[in-house]
A and B are shown apart, each in its own frame.
Chain A
C-alpha cells in the first residue's frame, strides 16, 4: 500500500504540473474578474448588523413568527395603471401618434412610452415584471427593493433591472438598441455584446446588430428630457438611427468623447482608451460572460461543512422519469417564470428541449430565452439561439428568426447547427419578402456549402427573377 501511495503521489505531482501548464491556456482571469464586478454591481455591500443578545432575538422572533406566516403567503402580483386607468397586465401598451403613454405599477415603479412606441407586459408578479419593448423609447423609473426583479426585452436583447432610472430605445427595423442610465445599474445581454454588459449611472450604451457595433457614451438627463416629447425614433429612411438621435456620444466636435467612445466589432471587447483604475476598467476591457446569480438570491452555500443539495423540484423529477408533458405541467404549477429564473443550467436546457419537443412553443421560447440570459456563452445558450430561431420561424416571425440564426452563427460559426442556420436564413429572408438579402445569403451559402442540404433551395432562389 505504501508503495502504491508513493507511486500515486509522484504520478499526481507530474499530472499537477501538466495541469498547471494546461490551465494557463483556458483561464481568462480578466473575464472572471469582470463577472465578479458585474455581480458586485448587482449586490451592493451591506454592512453587517451588530449582534443583539440571544434573549432579545428570541423575543423578537416570537413576534416575527406571525409576520413570517404572513410572508409565506404568495404576494399578489403588481397591479398596473395606464394613463391613470387600471388595466389588465396583458393588455398591449400602445402610445399615440403624438402622445406618450404613462404606465404605473403598484410598487411605485413608473414607465413612460414615448409617442409611436409599442410595448407589452409579458409577465408580472409581486416582484416586478417582464416587459417587451417592440419599438420606440421607454423612460423607466424602477423602485428598488431587495427582491425586485424587472426585465425588458427588446428583440434579441434583454435588460435586467433592479432599482434604477433609465431610458431604453429599440428600433427593430435597424436592429438598434440604446440604453441610457441615470441612476443605479442594469445588465444588458444580446448580440455583439460578448456577454452581459453592466451599464452604470451616467453611461449610454448603443448597439447595432446590423453593423455589429457597440458604442459607449455618456447619458445626460438633459438628453432624456429634451427627447421626451419627440418621436422615439427617427423616421425610417431619413438616415438617422438610435445611436444618432440625440446621441451625444462620438460627437466629432468633442475630442474627449471621440477618444472615449469605443466602437467594436461583434464579439470584441469594448476597449477603454485609458485605464483610470485596473480593477474598475476590467468590466469595460473584457467581455463579461455570465452573471446569472446577480439577478436573484442564489441558493445558500455551505459554511464550513457543505450541505447536501436540496431535493429536486417536482417538475425535474417528472422529467427525469421520462414524462415531459407532466414535467411541463408541474413546472407551470410551480411557476414557469420562477423555474426559468432559478433552475440549474442542465435542468433548464432539458426543460426547454422537452417543451419544444412537446410542441409547447411559448414555454420553449421562455426556457430557451432564460438559458440565453442566464448562461450566455455556454454551449446550451448558443444552441438556444438556433432553437429560438426555429421557433420564431415556425411562428412566421421572420425578422426575429433571422436575428436568432445570425446570433447563433456569430457565436458558433462552426457549430453543429451552423450550416442549417445559414440555410434557414435564406428561408426566412425569402419568406419575409426580402429577396435581395435572400439572394445574397443564398450565394454565400452555395459558395461555402456547395453540397449543403439547402443547395437546391439556394439555387432556386438564385434562379428566380430578382
Chain B
C-alpha cells in the first residue's frame, strides 16, 4: 500500500511549483490556466489586498471573508482585464469596490436593526501600545461617521499614502471628484479630531 501522502498530495510537476515573472506574464499564464500562476496571484497580492481592506474598514469581523471575496471576483474577471500591466491597480479597484459594498450593506443592516453598533469591534491587538490603540480606534470611529466615498478617499490618500491619481483610479472616478471628496473628508476629519481628547494631541503634534 502506498503511503497516504503520495496518494493524496503528489508532488506538483516542476513547472507548477513556482512562478517567476512580472504581472504581465502572470496574467498571461493565469489566462492559459497555469496552476502556479493562479497560486502566485494570491501569494503576490494577498498582503496588498488585506492592507487596503484594513485601511478602509479597520478591524472588521468579516475581513477574512471580504479578502476572499476580492480574489473570487478577480478569478472571474481576470480574463477581461485589458491591461495586464495594471494588475495591481485593477485589484485595488476591486478591493475598494468590495469594501464599499460591505460598508453600504452594513449601514443598511444597522439601520434596519439587524446588527447593533456594538458588534463593530475595536482593535485589541497586543502588538500595539495602548495609547496607539486608542488613537487607531478613535480614528476609525471618526472615519465610520463619514460618508462612505469620503471615508474611502481619506483612508487611501492619508493613511495608505496613495497618490491622488491612484486614489481616483481605485475609486473608479475622476481626479476632480477625488479632490472634492478629499477636501470634504479633510475638513470633517480635522474638525472631529481636534475635538477628540484622544486624537487632538496626535493631530496637533504634527505641527509642533
Residues of A participating in the B interface, judged by any CB pair closer than 8 Å: 3-16, 18-29, 31-33, 35-37, 39-40, 43-48, 200, 202-203, 216-218, 248-249, 251, 254, 256-257, 259-261, 272-274, 276-277, 279-281, 284, 289-291, 293-294, 297-306, 309, 319-320, 344-347, 349-350, 353, 375, 377-379
**CB-CB under 8 A for A304 and B33, given A19-B159, A260-B5:** no
A19 with B54: CB separation less than 8 A: yes
**CB-CB under 8 A for A36 and B11, given A15-B135, A22-B59, A257-B1:** no
Q: List 23 A-B contacts (CB under 8 A).
A: A5-B186, A7-B190, A8-B186, A9-B158, A11-B158, A12-B159, A13-B161, A22-B136, A25-B126, A25-B127, A29-B47, A35-B68, A40-B35, A40-B75, A45-B38, A48-B79, A218-B2, A256-B2, A272-B9, A290-B64, A302-B93, A306-B172, A378-B62
B31 with A48: CB separation less than 8 A: yes
Seed contacts A11-B193, A248-B1, A260-B8; 13 additional CB < 8 Å A-B pairs: A11-B203, A16-B160, A21-B127, A32-B46, A40-B39, A47-B31, A48-B32, A48-B79, A256-B4, A291-B68, A299-B73, A301-B76, A303-B80
A291 to B73, CA, bound (A): 12
Check B180 for interface membership: any CB of A closer than 8 A.
no
CB proximity of A95 to chain B, nearest CB, Å: 31
The closest CB in chain A to the CB of B28 belongs to A48
Interface string of B118-151 (1 = CB under 8 A from A): 0100010111100011011001000000000000
**CB-CB under 8 A for A280 and B206, given A4-B186, A9-B158:** no
B5 / chain A contacts, CB cutoff of 8 Å: 260, 272-274, 276
The main secondary structure of chain B at its interface with chain A is: helix
B46 / chain A contacts, CB cutoff of 8 Å: 29, 32-33, 36
A257 with B3: CB separation less than 8 A: yes
A29 to B126, CA, bound (A): 18
A3 to B106, CA, bound (A): 35
A362 to B193, CA, bound (A): 50
A16 to B154, CA, bound (A): 12
A26 / chain B contacts, CB cutoff of 8 Å: 59, 63, 125
CB proximity of B126 to chain A, nearest CB, Å: 7
CB proximity of A259 to chain B, nearest CB, Å: 7
A297 to B77, CA, bound (A): 11
**CB-CB under 8 A for A303 and B81, given A11-B158, A281-B9:** yes
Interface string of B178-208 (1 = CB under 8 A from A): 0000000010011001000000001100110
CB proximity of A340 to chain B, nearest CB, Å: 17
- Which residues between 1 and 42 of chain B lie within 8 Å of chain A, taking CB atoms? 1-5, 7-12, 17, 31-35, 38-39, 42
**CB-CB under 8 A for A33 and B42, given A7-B206, A25-B127, A303-B82:** yes
